[in-house]
């Protein structure tokens, strides 16, 4: 087992922050069942649920495996159980009152689970607690930042290996396999958590030339055709050729935490249009860095960066080509790759706060040609932005 176990002080701070928001919203209790949220508030992922009262000690009810939960979690109240019907009895055993208003994760909770909990607490009113959980999770602690810095070092090793590995005639799949092998040896978990329904991703996307411009079902500027329609994204079997952009969009993963980075490579150079477009995306990133201060409105940053890209002449190709463009440029990163904040259209009432971590990915997509651009992960402090990912940003000519 990895030596890095979430400290009890960290778990207590997180649960206390959630309890403060619960009190303000009039919730008596929250029941957490989703894996990413369980890991955040308990330090482990076991089958069961975390019961968080508005006041008092959170109780981790574990169906499978309680022994492992005690080994991996610093929480003290870990209780084995076999049926949801036992939950009220466990709560009473901790001298907690029967909850009248219960929060659950409506965005990810299966209806069948919800109906079971309604039967267990038939008199309770249920509300969506996801916005509160997102607000707690969006501000990263020093402990979390340490995990993310390790993930950034991991993805830099992957990026440097790409420069040493790319060769004419190898397939995009060959390259992806080489890079994923390096990442796994460096501790990558092999899985990228996404909160959105049907969100699926492994490692990231690696593709060359026209394959980098193929849109997918994912809400991302780049998609790729993939190896098969059953997972229609990412690398295919196209062979790498000189004079085309090679995209390595890779998520580093360390001890449950992610960073997101994109770098562009090429054999023997690229057409001037693509080189200029890449420089323009670096300018868009610089504009974001100028604007992203505590108190800045998420949607305002998006609109300003979009306006710059349009002024540069990229209206048809920015964040996808026309008909397949996405309406965001940045997304929060942490345990999941789609956390708060969202630098996106419509987020006009949410403001940046110190402690937030987000990826920013201005990209240009040209049909039948490929994609260029940049992506980095940033931490916002009171002093300004800290760039966590640090691989060289210019196009790497191999």
The CA-based angle 108-197-83, given to 5 degrees, is: 35
pLDDT tens-place string over residues 76-105: 999 999 999 999 999 999 999 999 999 999
Which tokens is 14 given? 């997180």
Closest alpha carbon to 336 in 231, 200, 216: 200
Place of tokens 């090679």: 246
Residue 44 backbone phi and psi in degrees, to 5: -150, 170
pTM, entire model = 0.97
Q: What is the mean pLDDT of residues 267-295?
A: 99
- pLDDT score for 48: 97
Architecture of domain 142-397: Alpha-Beta Complex (3.90)
Q: Which CATH code for domain 8-137?
A: 3.40.350.10
- pLDDT score for 4: 86
Question: Cα–chain-centroid distance for residue 347?
Answer: 18
For the chain, the structural domain boundaries read 8-137, 142-397
- pLDDT score for 2: 59
**pLDDT over 70, % of the chain:** 99
The CA-based angle 326-266-155, given to 5 degrees, is: 65
* pLDDT over threshold 80, residue 3: no
Q: What is the mean pLDDT of residues 25-42?
A: 99
Q: How far apart are the first and last CA of the chain?
A: 39
pLDDT tens-place string over residues 114-167: 999 999 999 999 999 999 999 999 999 999 999 999 999 999 999 999 999 999
| DSSP type of residue 159 | H
- pLDDT score for 1: 43
* pLDDT over threshold 60, residue 219: yes
Are the C-beta atoms of 252 and 158 separated by less than 8 Å? yes
pLDDT tens-place string over residues 247-269: 999 999 999 999 999 999 999 99
Residue count of the chain: 398
* pLDDT over threshold 50, residue 185: yes
pLDDT tens-place string over residues 356-395: 999 999 999 999 999 999 999 999 999 999 999 999 999 9
Closest alpha carbon to 222 in 395, 365, 54, 42: 365
**pLDDT over 90, % of the chain:** 99
Are the C-beta atoms of 171 and 237 separated by less than 8 Å? yes
The CA-based angle 143-298-328, given to 5 degrees, is: 95
Peptide bond preceding 341: is omega within 30 degrees of 0, i.e. cis?
A: yes
Q: What is the mean pLDDT of the chain?
A: 98
- E strand map for the chain: 29-32, 47-53, 59-64, 78-80, 101-104, 125-128, 204-208, 246-254, 257-266, 328-332, 339-344, 357-360, 363-366, 370-373, 376-381, 384-387, 396-397
């Amino acid at each position: 087992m990895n030596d890095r176990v979430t400290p009890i002080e960290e778990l207590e701070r997180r649960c206390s922050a959630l309890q403060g928001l619960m009190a303000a919203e009039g919730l008596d209790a929250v029941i957490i069942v989703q894996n990413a949220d369980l890991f955040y508030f308990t330090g482990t992922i076991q089958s069961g649920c975390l019961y968080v009262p508005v006041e008092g000690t959170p109780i981790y009810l574990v169906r499978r495996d309680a022994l492992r939960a005690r080994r991996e979690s610093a929480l003290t109240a870990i209780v084995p159980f076999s049926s949801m019907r036992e939950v009220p009895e466990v709560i009473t055993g901790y001298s907690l009152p029967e909850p009248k208003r219960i929060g659950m994760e409506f965005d990810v909770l299966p209806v069948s689970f919800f109906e079971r909990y309604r039967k267990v607490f038939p008199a309770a009113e249920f509300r969506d607690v996801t916005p509160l959980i997102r607000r707690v999770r969006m501000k990263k602690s020093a402990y979390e930042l340490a995990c993310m810095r390790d993930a950034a070092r991991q993805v830099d090793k992957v990026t440097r290996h790409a420069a040493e590995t790319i060769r004419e005639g190898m397939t995009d799949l060959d390259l992806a396999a080489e890079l994923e092998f390096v990442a796994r040896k460096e501790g990558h978990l092999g899985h990228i958590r996404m909160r959105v329904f049907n969100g699926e991703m492994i490692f990231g996307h690696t593709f060359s030339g026209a394959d980098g411009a193929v849109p997918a079902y994912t809400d991302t500027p780049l998609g790729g055709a993939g190896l098969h329609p059953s997972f229609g994204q990412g690398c295919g079997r196209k062979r790498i050729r000189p004079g085309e952009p090679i995209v390595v969009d890779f998520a580093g993963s360390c001890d449950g935490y992610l960073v997101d980075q994109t770098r562009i490579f090429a054999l023997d150079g690229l057409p001037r249009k693509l080189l200029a477009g890449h420089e323009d995306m670096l300018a868009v990133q610089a504009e974001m860095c100028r604007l992203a201060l505590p108190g800045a409105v998420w949607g305002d940053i998006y609109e300003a960066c979009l306006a710059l890209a349009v002024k540069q002449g990229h209206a048809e190709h920015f964040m996808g080509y026309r008909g397949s463009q996405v309406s965001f440029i940045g997304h929060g990163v942490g345990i999941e790759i789609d956390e708060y904040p969202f630098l996106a259209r419509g987020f006009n009432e949410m403001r940046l706060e110190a402690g937030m971590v987000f990826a920013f990915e201005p990209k240009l997509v040209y049909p039948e040609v490929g994609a260029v651009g940049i992506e980095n992960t940033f931490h916002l402090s009171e002093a300004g932005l800290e760039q966590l990912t640090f691989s060289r940003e210019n196009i790497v000519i191999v």
